[in-house]
A = this chain, B = another copy of it.
Amino acid sequence: MTATKNKVTIRDVARLAGVSYGTVSRYLNGNEHVSERAAQRIAQAIEESQYTPNNAARSLAQQRTSTIAFIVQVESIFTLLQASTTAAMAEANQILGDAGYQMVTLIANSDDSTHRIAQLVHSDFADGYLLFSLSEDDSLAKIFRTAHRPVVLSEASDRSTDVSYPAVDFANADGQRDITRFLLDRGKTRLAYVCGPGYSPSSSKRLQGFKQAMGSRYDDNRVYYADDWEITSGEMAAAAFEPILHDLDGIVCANDNIAIGVINQLHRMGYRVPEDIAVTGFDDSPIATMMDPKLTTVRQDSWMHGRAMSQLLLSMLRGETVGPHTVTLLPTEIVTRQSA
């Protein structure tokens, strides 16, 4: 109980238990060649001395760190505020923690931070990496070439790059297709679409899903290409559609924020939602239920996203080989509320 400042090492424990510190090490690492008697005495010694193994020393000797890095790559730091990222992060933390790994989160939002992270990765500071990217920039993905450690991406990219890792993503195309069909089935056939920004793989996948559902009804003149995923873009889209609004009975949006902007603008222009024009979102973000009318949207379970990524990484850590182009697509689900 004497709380001396001097850190207690494995040798102290050994002395206390009356064994050599090699034995303590074996005990600590679950080696079977430790007698029952020794084990008991060591256990007690550890308890008494409040011993905790030193992380750095263990990593150095063992050449592994027992930590997983969750790296978030964002163009603007504001993107980070999206709840989806946090949810995935929290769930990954949970799953990895249960598996004995400590997850650490790193944010790459500048050349500086990217460089710092590259350094870390290069020095093998983690046993595995979850790269949660909200940007099409693959400069970060490249830094893993030097690391001989498993990596899992959060987004399936279409682009054929020189670097490739297994990815877990949502079935974006299917989700957008399904909710579009949902509208069509309910008689809303004169639909416009607000597409997400061009730099995002999700954008094109979702547009693709919309096209697929619309078939011959698809008309590129009724697609607005937004510059980002924000509310303002939705407002601009609705304003741009003004001339053809009277001929529309639905607007399918590439995400919830845009949908909210669309609804706001429609209200201002005197249209009722969904009576005059139905509007759908995508993501099922927290604000979807805060709006009036509440958003009918496509739900993506971000928790599941984090979970699936972690589990994949864990299996790779266990030695299972996973092809670098393996893509897991997570299902989405239509949530019917008020806006459509």
Contacts and interface: CB of A to CB of B under 8 A. Distances in A.
Given A86-B86, A97-B113, A287-B290, A102 B81 contact: no
A244 B55 CA distance: 61
A65 B60 contact: no
A292 to B, nearest CB: 7
A315 interface: no
A59 interface: yes
A7 B124 contact: yes
A260 interface: yes
B102 A105 contact: no
A19 interface: no
A74 to B, nearest CB: 9
A110 B91 CA distance: 12
Interface in A58-110: 59-60, 65, 77, 80-81, 83, 85-87, 89-90, 93-94, 97-98, 102-107, 109-110
Chain A at the B interface: SS class: helix
A121 B109 CA distance: 27
Contacts of A148: 5
Contacts of A87: 81
A57 B52 CA distance: 18
Protomer copies: 2
A97 B112 contact: yes
A87 to B, nearest CB: 7
A90 B80 contact: yes
Contact of A65 (B56, B102, B112): B56
A93 B81 contact: no
Nearest to A286: B81
A102 B112 CA distance: 12
A113 B125 contact: no
| Interface size band for A | 35 or more
A69 to B, nearest CB: 8
A57 B7 CA distance: 18
Contact of A83 (B81, B106, B112): B81
A126 to B, nearest CB: 10
A120 B102 contact: yes
Given A50-B146, A122-B52, A290-B290, A116 B90 contact: no
Contacts of A102: 106, 116, 120
Given A148-B5, A287-B290, A90 B107 contact: yes
Given A80-B86, A112-B97, A60 B54 contact: yes
Contacts of A260: 290
Contacts of A103: 106
B56 A60 contact: yes
A290 B291 contact: yes
Contacts of A54: 60, 123-124
Nearest to A261: B290
Given A3-B146, A54-B60, A56-B125, 13 more contacts: A5-B148, A54-B124, A55-B124, A56-B65, A60-B60, A81-B86, A81-B286, A86-B86, A90-B109, A98-B112, A102-B106, A103-B106, A264-B292
